[in-house]
Structure formats: C-alpha cells, structure tokens
Structure 1
Amino acid sequence: MSNTVLITREPVINKQHKITANRLIVHAASVAAAVQALSSLDDVWPATHPVFISLYRLVPTPDLLEWIAPANAMVEIPTQSIAHPLTLALIPQLQAAGISLNLTWYQNDTILPPNIPWRFVIIDAKRHSLPADPPGLAIAWGLGNVPDFRNAILEGYDGASGWFFMRGVKSDGKLAPSHAQIVRLLNLVRRNAEVKEIETVLKQDVALSYKLLRYINSAGFGLMCEIQSFRHAVTILGYEKLNKWLSVLLVSASRDPSAPALMQTAIARGRFMEKIGAAFFDKGELDNLFITGAFSMLHLLLGASLQSALEEMHLPTPIADALLSGDGVYAPFLKLACALEGFDDKDLAALAHELHISPEQINRAHLEALAFADSLQFS
C-alpha cells in the first residue's frame, strides 16, 4: 500500500465574503500515513486562520492522536463514520487534547453522540436544506456560484466552503481607472523608469502608496527594516521585487464583494509557483512565476477579460503564454497550482509526476503559500 500523501484544499468563506478558515483535504492510504505527512509540516503550518482537517475517505481513528495538532487545527468527523467504534473512541480523546471538532455531511436525521461541542457543521447544500437547529455553525458546501452563496446566507448559513466564488463573477468589461493607474506604475517599474517619475504617479493616489508600503512591510515579506517610502523601497528591494509587489497591488485593487477570497487565492497560487519553481528556474525568474499565478485570476478580480487586461501590460512572453494559451515553460506550474484547489489527487499526482516533484515538496510549498497569502490583509 502506498504511503504517498497529497494535500488539496478549499477555503471557508464567511458572510463578508472573506476566507475565514482553510479546509485541508488529506489524501492518504491510512491515517498513520496522513499523520506522518502532517507532522512534517509543523514549521510551515498556516497559523492566521483556523484549519479544518479532512481525512477524505478515511475513517478517523485513534492513530490520529500521534499527530501533535497545531492550536488552530480542527478535525472533521464525517457523519458516515460517527458510529464507527474507532471514531467513537477517538472523539473523547480529541476533546481531552483540546482539539476542536467539526461535523461533516450533517442532515436532519443524523444521530449524534451526546455532549460533543461541534464548532462547525458542513452541510451538502445541493442535497439537503438547512436543518432547523444544527449542532454548530452551519457551513454550506457544494454551492455553484456567487448567487448561490448569497441565497445560502439569506437561508441562514453562517458561511460556505468551496470555490463557488470563482463562478458567477462578471469578467467582460474594461479596466477601471484605478486599475489602469496601477498598470501604468507596473509598466514604469518594468522599464526601470526614474524613481522621480514613478513617485509622481504614486502621489496622485495616496491610498495606493499606503497599500503598497503595507504589503512590502508585511510579515510575509520578512524584511529586517521597515520601508518608509517608495524611494527607500527601490534602494532596499530593487525594481524586480517592486514589480512583484505592484502586481500584488493590482490583484488587490478590486472592490467587488467577492474580491477578498479571490485575492487570497490568487496570491496563494503565485507564492506556490514561486516556491515550487525554485528548483527549476534561476532566481531572477521566480518573481515572474509569482506574477503568473497571481495574474491567473485577474479577469475575475478586475472585471475585465484577461486578454484586455494583459494588453495594457508589457509582460514577459512566458507569463503571457501561460495565462492566455496555457502554453510555455510556466504553464505546467500554473496547472499544478490550480490542481491544489480540489479533490482530485490523481490529477495532482500526475502533474507532479510529469515535473518530477515529490508529494512532500508539493505539500510543503502548498502550506508555505497558504501561510503567506493568509499573512496579507486584503481590506
């Protein structure tokens, strides 16, 4: 039996359309293998938000107690296995260890053991209506798009889990003036314009300057000193790094209600590509990998077609090829990043195999990317 373990994910979205937790789906042949994989990721664990742990098709057993769970971890107990003797033995031990429990696939006729304080209850909203009195905060699963999410919140759900926010978003317009201003800055930085010229553009929008400096000084960047001005940023970082952070600024410029979750996902894609690509590309190209991942959702974030958005920018050919036609040297890494956003571990394994990347490398880069994206405040 293979001990290969791969971790995919989906976000948990609150009523304000923000990612409020991350749901990790652990694809493993045994609970023991899952524990071994999870234990190896302590140093890159995403700590900003709660993390739901789903063992997917496995029955949760006391083997899980071998994992020293981080404080923000919550273990999911599927209703299909809740009467299993090993799961019944596990539940009180998790409670005694102070690990929060979530209940998945709950419905009205589910018979529950007594005295269990469920934190969240995931309900398949495609198949079942919201029960009158769920035993925890109700999370809708299986929603098709953004309008479905709005309806679920009106129905009484506390949030939803899944990628519904990528669907039902209009993306066929033109760049808004605020977006065009950031594109102008990107083009100036990319052609190494004079600092004074770039500062003149930044001074036209004080909010942009503030946001840019806030991102650069974020914990995820890891600088040893605080950047005080754009000129200071050029001195410390250089133009290439500034190009990357202006890209973050563009990704975070949307004011659409669904934008916070889209922004966080876009940055996670970019950071994953940057991390996993480090073994394949020169250091100078890693920022381009980041930009490729971050810009892969630009059409959803800016409400403009990807073609029209990219026409305004002078992007390197590998970035444009990956985004517009799915071709070129960056494309396999973008596909790999997107494959983390689902339940198909076979597709993820096949893509990793083609690139000769181990599951351990995938999982580590995945969680590093998630921790980084969570560390940025998109508001």
Structure 2
Amino acid sequence: MTEVYLSRQPLVNRQSRIIATRLLLHLAAEGGMPAAVMALDSLAGVWPTGGKPLFVSCPAATIDARLLDWLAPENATIELPAACLLGEHGPDLIAAIQTWQPTICLQFDPQATQALSIGLQYRFIGFDAQSLSNAQLKLLAARTKSYGMGIAFQVTTTADFRASMDAGVTAAAGWFFTTPSGIPAKTLSASQANIMRVLNLVRNNAEIREIEAALKQDVAISYRLLRYINSAGFGLSCEIQSFRHAVTMLGYDKLNRWLSLLLATASKDPMAPALMHTALVRARLMELLAAGLVDKSEYDNLFITGAFSLLDALLGLGMEKILDAMRLPEPISDALLGNGGRYRPFLDLALASEAGDGRAIAEQAAMLGLTAAQFNSAQLQALAFADAMEF
C-alpha cells in the first residue's frame, strides 16, 4: 500500500487566531487519487467533525474526479486549482462536484477567470501570495469577493501577513509567526518569573501551602490555570475549584503540564494566540507519537517539550536564557536546545509536520517505526485537542 503523509499549515485571521488548518497530502507518483482517498477515509474515526474547517490540498497533477469518492465531512474544504476544472479531467470533476456538492476553495491561477464562470459554487478563493504583489492581491481579492472569501496561501513573513490582511483577505496560511521577531528581551517579565517560580515549586514537590502562597501573588495565574484544567480538552467529569482540589484530583505530575502552558499565556507577542495553538498541537502530537515507544511515565515530559518548543518566540527570550531559569529534566532541555537526546526525534517529527516536506516526514517517522496512518491520525487528534483547549 502506498503511504500518504499529511503536513499542515494554519490559516490565521487578523486577530492572530488560527481559524482553520490546511492538510497537504504528499502522494507518491504511483499512488494518485486512490491512495489519497484511502488515506482520507482512514481518518474518519479521528476527523474532528464539528470543529474548525480543514482544507484538503492534493498535488494538482494528481487531481481527478476520484477525489470525490471521499465522502468529505461537513467541515472539510477541498482545494482545487482552476486548471483542474478546465483540463482533461474537468468535465468528470465538475459533474462529481455538482453531484456531491462539497465545499470548494478555488486556487486562483491564470485560468481562474474562466473557472469562475462555469457555474460552480465556491466558498473560498485561494491566492498564492508568493506570485502576487500586494497591489495585485488587493485587486484580485476585491474582484472575487462575490465568489468566495479570499485566503492568502504561502505567506512566509509577518510583514507579508499584515500586507495580506490589508489587501482584504479573510486569513493567511503559513508558519510566518513561529520565528522569533524583534530584539530579544533581556529578562523575564514579573508575571513570567512568577510562573517559573511556581513551576519549580511543583517540580520539587513543595508543600501545597507554599505553592498556593506563590499563586496568590498573581491572581491571574490562578484564574488561567483553573480555566485550562476545566477546559473541554482536559475532559474532567467535575469542575476543579481550587489549586488544592487540582492537586488532589490530578497529582503533581499531571498538574505540572498545565502549569507549563501558563508561560505561553504570559506572552505579549501579538501573534500569541496562533503560537499558543501551535504549541498545544506540538505538545499533544509528541505525546501521541510516543505512545508505546517510551515509558508512560515520560508522556508528560514529551508534552512539556512540545509545549515549550515555542517559548523563545512567545516570551521574546533566547531558549538558553529561558531554560536557565527552570529546572527541567535533561532530555527536555537537550531536545529544546537541539542537543539530541531521546525526546528530540519526536520533536523533529512534530516540526517536520509543519515543514511541508513529505519525504522528510516519511524518513523521520520511519526512524521511530511509525506508519503514515499512525502519524496522520496523531496529527488530527492533536489538532482536535488544541481546538478544545482554546477559549
């Protein structure tokens, strides 16, 4: 069976929130549409139905009417280059669309004007930001607004993101926000320093009263912590009402992972919402990928490694300076500093899922003994987790 790996890109709106995700299918030449449909069908059990939209993007050369053999969930959007609708397989593809009526994003290309006139309904119009000037993007977004909401694809810098928003599109797709921006800060803020103090107390199994006293120095920390623990992503059957109650219900080890997320909430970066969502996906993805490959006692550490992997961007500090202020297990520090260790291969695979290189994903997954089905399933489960944790 041909292995089909998925990579992903977030769609970020002008409020810096991830409102949808692109799933890019990496297909071997011999697989084609049957392999793509089989891979998509295999995700039915983990597809986050009712959640944020998921855009599905296949290589243009492989697209034909058989793509519509996949019964797309309601929140799925199929990306189609205009050329595919007007080429050799166009009539069959158009007929299949008219029959099944999936949500379509038309990828704007030189044949887009003709594709807009064939009578199909498009929800979104996707523009390649790399091939258009800001003026062209603004003009095309305005001219096609009546056909569908504009999306800018392949946005690589924060400046390009702002220009895309100014051009009038609804969202921009890309990982432009994960690179630290601006001049690194010299020290942690008071709020960040206090969160690290609480984290270190929990890691050292300090007395509950000592931890509670530290939390009371910043009421906002206690409030955010309880919101996290009581969010849908945590899945508790009862509401946690105090830190003492949280320790009783969870224990220090589980509580440590949720305290770790608070560091991100202290960020002043304008892209913090998108960064936070991405950190949550990485955290849960690493934990899922490691299931059965490491001892269960290490799952929380893998989660924390993923959650902390964007702290340099979130806090505006170098990773070494951040880790100097914390007492983390060596495998976590090694992975975050690029020094190898047993957690680094899982972080490398999580990073590969964002890079869009199908071969690199396949090679990294193979090193860990993971199949494409396992990897793809873990990605969708991690996305669903991150979506449920947002508030």
**Contact between 1:247 and 1:294, CA under 8 Å: does it hold in 2?**
yes
- Asked if 1:136 is matched to 2:138, the reply is no
1:127 maps to amino acid: S
The Cα offsets for residues 70-127 of structure 1, whole Å up to 9 and x where unpaired, read as 1100111112312134344234533543421001144586421422221111111221
Contact 1:153 1:159 in 2 (8 A): yes
Match of 2:46 in 1: 44
Query: CA RMSD for the aligned pairs?
Result: 1.8
Matched, 1:355 2:368: yes
Number of equivalences: 377
Match of 2:18 in 1: 19
Q: Which of 162, 180, 188 is the aligned partner of 2:174?
A: 162
The answer as to 2:124 corresponding to 1:120 is yes
Is 1:31–1:58's contact at 8 Å kept on the other side of the alignment? no
Where structure 2 has 5 or more consecutive residues not aligned to the other structure, the ranges are: none
Runs of 4+ in 1 over 4 A off after TM superposition: none
* Equivalent position of 2:85 in the other structure: 82
Quick one: structure 1 residues 15 and 334, their matched pair in 2 at CA, closer, same or farther if it must change by over 3 Å?
A: same
Structure-2 separation of matches of 1:108 and 1:133? 15
Q: Structure 1 CA distance, aligned partners of 2:183 and 2:280?
A: 19
TM-score by length of 1: 0.94
Is residue 225 of structure 2 the alignment partner of residue 212 of structure 1? yes
Structure 1 residue ranges without an equivalent (≥5): none
Equivalence for 2:162: 150
Amino acid at match of 1:144: T
Structure-2-length-normalised TM-score: 0.92
SS at match of 1:341: coil
Kindly provide the CA deviation profile for residues 130-154 of structure 1, in whole angstroms up to 9, marking residues without a partner as x: 1141232111122231122112212
Secondary structure, aligned partner of 2:193: helix
Q: Distance in 2 between matches of 1:158 and 1:217?
A: 31
Change (3 A) 1:57 1:97: closer
- Aligned twin of 1:53: 56
- Pairwise CA distance, 1:340: 0.3
Contact 1:146 1:168 in 2 (8 A): no
Confirm or deny: 8 A CA contact 2:231 2:388 kept in the other structure.
yes
* Counterpart Cα distance in 1 of 2:90 and 2:281: 33
Give distance in 2, aligned partners of 1:326 and 1:111: 53
Q: Deviations over 1:35-90 (max 9, x none)?
A: 11111112211342111011124443232233222110011111231213434423
Once the two structures are aligned, what percentage of the paired residues are identical? 48
- CA distance in structure 1 between the aligned counterparts of 2:5 and 2:373, rounded to whole angstroms: 8
- Partner Cα separation in structure 2 for residue 321 and residue 35 of structure 1: 39
Asked if the contact 1:123/1:141 (under 8 Å) is kept, the reply is yes
